[in-house]
Amino acid sequence: MKRYETLARDISDSILAGTLKCGDQLPSVRVASTSRGVSPSTVFQAYYLLEAQGLIAGRERHGYFVVANGHGLSPVSTAAIPPRAEITTVDVSELVFEILASVGQRKVVPFGSAFPSPLLFPTAALARSMAEALPKQDRWSAVDTLASGLPALRREIALRYLINGQQINPDDIIITNGAMEALNLCLMAATKPGDAIVIESPCFYGALQALERLNLKAITVPTHAETGIDLVALEVALQEHRPSACWLMTNFQNPLGSSMSDEKKQALVNLLAAHEVPLIEDDVYGELYFDNLRPTPAKAYDRHGLVMHCGSFSKCLAPGYRIGWTVPGRLFRQVARLQLTTSLAASSPAQEALALYLSRGHYDHHLRMLRSTLAGNQRKMASAIARYFPAGTTAMEPAGGYFMWLKLPDSTNALQIQRLALEQDISLAPGPMFSPRRDFTNYIRLNYGHIWDEQAEAAVATLGHLISHRR
């Protein structure tokens, strides 16, 4: 480690430990240089690195300040008429598998894909981090720090929380084989077969498949395209069905793109805490915001260790690395043990490479570019849809992520459109994938996270034509 990296690490450790708090001024370069016995340029380099990592910020003529903490609240969402929750068994896996299998071919326009384009990730920089990190790897760490993940990576993840205003102890983080494993471990820790679980309607099909696999019943609670889950309906569901857990996405929900306001997140956490129900919070799109600040996770309002926050690098940095994590709160021990007996640990080279990459402060730069591309693509797709889709189509334009949820004219059969589109080498995700009873028959989810080109534009036109003529 170079001298400035050591200094930067000392300072970030102080921030992580709470010794340096948000708003605290760092010593001037001159003072730090004297007190640390290093050159002024070493101090400058350390401060630049910390700034790139988002931990401190320079203010002109005033020096450097710690900025790692929370942000203001966004406005309360408008209330909606609360339809009732429904309890049901889940039987959608077969449909989901069929459709996922159809997406995998490269010649297909990937509107049905679950990932952004792999061309948008810093593959080469990650490969360099890997090449640099592996030869330095502590050989013993391959066998004796398997459990819960590489300490250096858990530290970097804790720093990301800190930048967003949350004090998370690195020891409370468990690194997993992608967020999918994190979510599944949390679900297993919180439930036993036959239990009922609150999910959103519509919701991520992976949640539906997990429920089906673990013989859990689904309590579907209506979820609004702008403001997220309906809290009134949720409260009724909690009283009537006594669920073991609630699994939802607070930010850029898949497929809706909806985000809950901070007040609503807080109300959600309080409501669930009053019923002693753990919240499994799937926050894999949280870093892909188009506004100025990362939306807060519900975890930030957790006072009882009941929120099991799950994140991942798969959607915003390194899809193939399969590195996610969870901060499972009071069920930490159960989750850790379940991991030990199911997959043991996540892959160590991937963890080493990500830890080094993050410590170098490259991540935020990459994220800014990625967000800007995604936001631009959303505008292009929205405008193409407006041009080519029939009247009666409505589209949500979420403030982050890379999915657009479209309501097609009432009589449209999304599954039929999906099959016809695939014949023309265009994939899409039909609404019934996102519901335990295959509802949302006239909805589709389109992915705008791929390179926007003439082929994409033409594919939207083709879809519009199919929808106009086939319902």
Q: In the complex, which residues of this chain contact a copy of itself (CB under 8 A)?
A: 93, 97, 100, 104-106, 113, 115, 118-119, 121, 123-124, 126-127, 130-131, 134-135, 137, 139-147, 177-178, 180-181, 184, 188, 193, 206, 209-210, 213, 215, 318-323, 337-338, 340-350, 353
CB 179, min distance to a copy of itself, A: 9
> Is the CB of 29 or the CB of 99 nearer to a copy of itself?
99
Residue 166 vs 348, nearer CB to a copy of itself: 348
Q: Token pair 């480690």 is at which residue?
A: 1
b/e code 45-77 from CB counts within 10 Å (16+ = b): bbbbbbbbbbbbeeeeeeebebbbeeeeebeeb
Q: CB of residue 143 vs a copy of itself: minimum separation in angstroms?
A: 5
Question: Residue 68 or 323: which CB sits closer to a copy of itself?
Answer: 323
Instruction: Output Rg (C-alpha) for the chain, integer angstroms.
Output: 23
Which CB, 129 or 418, lies closer to a copy of itself?
A: 129
d(CA 297, CA 22): 19
How far, in Å, CA of 460 to CA of 298, rounded? 35
Alpha helix ranges (H) inside 137-219: 141-144, 151-163, 178-190, 205-213
For a copy of itself, give the closer residue by CB, 85 or 190: 190
Decide whether 79 or 147 has the Cβ nearer to a copy of itself.
147
Q: Amino acid identity of 428?
A: L
400 vs 293: CA distance, rounded Å:
11
Give the nearest distance from C-beta 300 to a copy of itself in angstroms.
Answer: 27
Q: Considering the complex, state which of residue 215 and residue 383 has its C-beta at the smaller distance from a copy of itself.
A: 215
C-alpha neighbours within 13 Å on the C-beta side of residue 280? 29
Structure tokens at 287: 């870093």
In the complex, minimum distance from the CB of residue 36 to a copy of itself, in angstroms, rounded to a whole number: 31
Torsion of CA 337, 339, 342, 345, to 10 degrees: -130
Residue in 385, 444, 416, 446 with CA at minimum distance from that of residue 112: 446
Closer by beta carbon to a copy of itself, 126 or else 268: 126
Least distance in angstroms from the C-beta of 249 to a copy of itself: 17
| Residue corresponding to tokens 């599954």 | 415
CB of 320 to a copy of itself, least distance (A): 3
Q: Count the neighbouring beta carbons within 10 Å of the beta carbon of residue 38.
A: 17
| Residue 177: CB minimum distance to a copy of itself, A | 4
Q: Taking the complex as a whole, how short is the minimal distance between the CB of residue 262 and a copy of itself, in angstroms?
A: 31
The H-or-E segment that residue 65 falls in is: strand 63-66
Name the minimum Å distance from CB 137 to a copy of itself: 7
Q: Contact at 8 Å (CB) between 381 and 419?
A: no
Nearer residue to a copy of itself within complex by CB, 353 or 446:
353
